[in-house]
Amino acid sequence: MKKLTLILASAVIGLGQADAADGKALYATCSACHQANGAGIPGAFPPLAESEWVNGPVENLIRIQLRGLMGPIKVKGVEYNSMMPPNASMSDEEIAAVLSYIRSNFGNTSGPVTPDQVKALRSEAGKPPLKADELIDPNEAPKEEAKPAGEEGAQAEPAAPAKVLAAGDVTEQGDVTKSDVQSGPNKLVWGGFAAWTLLCIFPVVTGVGRKKG
């Protein structure tokens, strides 16, 4: 009876706060399996408390809600092999709220999930249940972020040699555009000098020529 009252109460709260979905109330959908304290049930339902999945990439969590999950999955070093049904009938706001709730409770301190993030993955709904290897490995997610940064560093390198070339190889490169750009100010100085020399020397030379002639 108590549970029924709770469920009814949360339904009423849910209706009353249709705009601001209440993650705590919506968690009633999950607690039958994952338990009120998020600890799960050993051998049957994996924990949400301090789970690397819950605190990992948000994309995984949204996709699990929209498609469900089946097959072997390791959570906190323990393997589970069961099935979670999808919750695709929940609105974007509700999924965002319940995921934000599990990410900030049971000892979890991860950031919230936004309705827009759910909306962006809505097309996942209706697809067959996910398997763990279709998800981003939460243990490798931080490393993956580090790797592309290194690769980008390598891609960025061509910019550095260009500066070196401009400084050292201007004469070798001749009139290549790169060195033109880099030696722009110098060219102006030399161009001005040349113009000044011509202007000064021409009258002298022609003058001398006239005197001689």
Q: Which residues bind ligand HEC (CB under 6 A)?
A: 29-30, 32-34, 45-48, 51, 53-54, 61, 64, 69-71, 73, 75, 80-85, 87, 98, 102
Give the residue nearest to ligand HEC (CB).
30
- What's the min distance (Å) between Cβ of 76 and ligand HEC? 8
- What's the min distance (Å) between Cβ of 144 and ligand HEC? 19
Whose Cβ is closer to ligand HEC: residue 7's or residue 181's?
7
Whose Cβ is closer to ligand HEC: residue 31's or residue 206's?
31
- What's the min distance (Å) between Cβ of 146 and ligand HEC? 23
Half-sphere exposure of 154 (CA within 13 A, CB side): 4
Whose Cβ is closer to ligand HEC: residue 98's or residue 121's?
98
Whose Cβ is closer to ligand HEC: residue 26's or residue 182's?
26
